[in-house]
Structure 1
Amino acid sequence: MWIRRDLLAAALSAAVLFTGPAARAAGDLFLFNWTNYTDPALLKKFEAETGIKVTLDVYDSNETMLAKLQAGGGGYDVVVPSDYMVDIMVKAGLLQEIDAAQMPGFAAVMPPHDKPWYDPERKYSAPYMWGTTGFTYDSAKVQGPVDDSWWSIFNPDGPFKGHLAMMNDSVEVFNAAAYYLGIDRCTESNEDAGKIFKLLAAQKPAVALYNSDGSVERMAAGEVVAHMQWNGAAHRTKVKRPSAVFVYPKEGMSLWADNLVVPKDAKNPDNAKIFIAWMLKPENAGAASNFTTYMNAIKGSEAFMDKALSADPAINMPPEYLERLRPAKNCSPAAVELRDRVWTRLKS
């Protein structure tokens, strides 16, 4: 019987991807993920169950990751971009189609992560973790009350002066300033950009450093008394320093989602799909949440998660703060260029 070679190859690939625990695959997987965002024990479990050897490399921002891929570096099979970056990478032709919605475990993906704005059919991505961006302060080291406002960190003479760390992230910092000023974060107005720059430039002398990595260790060691942080990092900070408080700024804060994708030039795309399908299993997604201290999008994973996560308001957000969340969106090229100019000028 005549069989098309492409259909036969697809069938064989699917057999490797979707057969039971006894199925094993040879070869390697090169994973490129955010710093402190991959559980080593989970990778060892994956290696034991599949026979695929995983090599991990890390980055500190979406832009760093994108620049490396665009320069042809790394040779990665799976990377973990945020929502807006998935959209950019798809439009730039940097990703392979993986049809995550057809993977067996995808049925457990909860809304709105099953049909996100940046990949509504989940052709290119699968969910990993999601969270929010606010700031954390040490209530034992700060005199007086702290307002639930971005002004608490943007005020150059505020309670954290000289002992404040900001993220080294142009999008997060620019967005926070825009929220505080009531300006569209995707503004194309030079006047608006000037107001944002003026706010950030006035704050800069009060900032000890701009760094997205090591925020938990920095706060735990008392090197700074406040840090712009993702909520999962805020949880880990509180574990080490119980006096830490995570703030949901009333002017608005970013709601983000990170995703698993396969670069166009991945050398091991079949192994990449095996890994992504494996991560959709509730027990693996739950283990990932326990390590990252962020929520995942997989129904049933809560049975495998630490109870301490649900007890912390930084992770289990009080419902009254729901209206403060601002889902990610991609700005126009003109708006991105304006934001980049503000950031470059600020950091020069």
Structure 2
Amino acid sequence: MKSTLPSRLKQTISALIFGLAVTAPAAQADEVLKFFNWSDYIAEDTIERFEKETGIKVIADVFDSNEVLEAKMLAGSSGYDLVVPTSSFMGRQILAGVFQPLDKAQLPNSKHLDPELLTYLEKVDPGNHYGIPYLWGTTGLGYNPAMVKKALGEDAPVDSWDLVFKPENMKKLEKCGVMFLDSPDELYPLALNYLKLDPNSKKTADYASTSAASTLLKSVRPYVRQFHSSQYINALANGDICVAIGWSGDIIQAQDRAAEADNGVAIVYSIPKEGTQIWFDMLAIPASADNVKNAHTFINFLLRPDVIADITNYVAYANPNMAATALQDQDISNNPGIYPSAEVKKRFYPGNVRGVKIERLLTRFWSDLKTGR
């Protein structure tokens, strides 16, 4: 997830090669940190700076979905000292006992965290005992104005979920291409919220195959070209699709890639007027971590305003560090798609823990939806 970068793929490959190259010798070092992060989700020099300042060698591996991380965490010993779960997943993982409480005395830089944003996390992590917010963002619409105008005309509802949740619109957009996130944890709550229902509903009836939200998603399913949580970035940037439900920083990354390519493609990020989910990617220490002190040292490093400002500049996702805003590129800090106004924030909802039974219903529904059942 990113901002103004020349090559995200290059970074990902480099990180993977680095991880493979250093795993064996680093594991024998006295000072080590085993870090499991989303791919392309840190500045190019962050880890190098940390290693130079502390002498702690970082073994960095990457993942591309919460499900991958959760499988490792619930299996027992993950082999990592620091991981980056999304807050809604972290909430149920806390209940499963996979994390250890943070020692706030080792995290003096947590004083920079925005207390308003911390309140969103109270329901999944009461008292913020287990996680520190790393980066945050929203789920919205990325679209190509010219292509959407051609398909739907001047009055296309680009400020509303009507764009993708009304079959009559999706039928017209099908030719230019629409992609959805491959994430029931994102899409189903969006559908519930659009229908003016509780996006964090714990009523099993709201997740039945005949429920209003299920019916809504099935009604637009025939017009969705692909469900994927990263390929929409290049697809938008290259003009291969005209609309995507995606994450804020990824859509802005698509803008940057199109600008770098100078291919005449314009991309806009829209937070629909009906509201959307605000999500946080957290820093958490597994209960099985071997290098707990080093994990705290790295978290405190990431909480430094200058460090997290560089990361936000690179990945184009907002951070919760109040002192970092002035240090960031102003086109990032002043971008309402990255840092929405207080008025827009009123329409946000966090993802909460729904319970095992509902998660199973949701998983089953999503599998059926993608296969067209």
TM above 0.5, yes or no, is: yes
Cα distance in structure 2, aligned partners of 1:329 and 1:27: 36
CA deviation after TM superposition for structure 1 residue 101, in Å: 6.2
**Residues 256/101 of structure 1: CA separation in 2 closer, same or farther (3 Å cut):** farther
CA contact (8 A) 2:91 2:352 kept: no
- Structure 2 residue corresponding to 1:302, chosen from 325, 330, 334: 325
1:146 maps onto 2:153 in alignment: no
CA deviation after TM superposition for structure 1 residue 191, in Å: 5.8
The answer for the alignment partner of 2:137 in structure 1 is 131
1:312 maps onto 2:312 in alignment: no
Cα distance in structure 2, aligned partners of 1:191 and 1:34: 31
The answer for the alignment partner of 1:188 in structure 2 is 203
TM-score (norm 2): 0.80
The answer for the alignment partner of 1:160 in structure 2 is 173
CA contact (8 A) 2:138 2:279 kept: yes
CA contact (8 A) 1:26 1:51 kept: no
Please identify runs of 4+ aligned residues in structure 1 that moved more than 6 A: none
1:235 maps onto 2:235 in alignment: no
1:222 maps onto 2:239 in alignment: yes
Name stretches of at least 5 consecutive residues in structure 1 with no aligned partner.
1-24
TM-score (norm 1): 0.86
- Structure 2 residue corresponding to 1:293, chosen from 313, 316, 319: 316
After TM superposition, the structure 1 stretch with the greater mean CA deviation from structure 2, 282-291 or 237-246, is 237-246
- Structure 2 residue corresponding to 1:257, chosen from 280, 285, 288: 280
Q: After the TM superposition, which residues 314-329 of structure 1 pair with which residues of structure 2 at under 5 Å, given as runs?
A: 314-329=337-352
CA contact (8 A) 2:78 2:286 kept: no
The percent of aligned pairs where both chains have the same amino acid is 32
Q: Secondary structure at the match of 2:346?
A: helix
Q: Secondary structure at the match of 1:94?
A: coil
CA contact (8 A) 1:234 1:246 kept: yes
Q: Deviations over 1:260-292 (max 9, x none)?
A: 001111232221111111111111111121122
- Paired AA for residue 29 in structure 1: L
1:284 maps onto 2:298 in alignment: no
The answer for the alignment partner of 1:17 in structure 2 is none
**Residues 129/177 of structure 1: CA separation in 2 closer, same or farther (3 Å cut):** same
Cα distance in structure 2, aligned partners of 1:291 and 1:274: 22
Q: Secondary structure at the match of 2:147?
A: coil
Q: After the TM superposition, which residues 1-348 of structure 1 pair with which residues of structure 2 at under 5 Å, given as runs?
A: 26-72=30-76, 74-100=78-104, 103-114=107-118, 116-117=121-122, 118-142=124-148, 143=150, 144=153, 145-147=155-157, 148-158=159-169, 159-162=172-175, 163-185=177-199, 186-190=201-205, 193=208, 194=210, 195-241=212-258, 243-348=266-371
CA contact (8 A) 1:35 1:58 kept: yes
CA deviation after TM superposition for structure 1 residue 151, in Å: 2.2
CA contact (8 A) 1:219 1:225 kept: yes
Cα distance in structure 1, aligned partners of 2:182 and 2:82: 23
| RMSD, matched Cα | 2.2
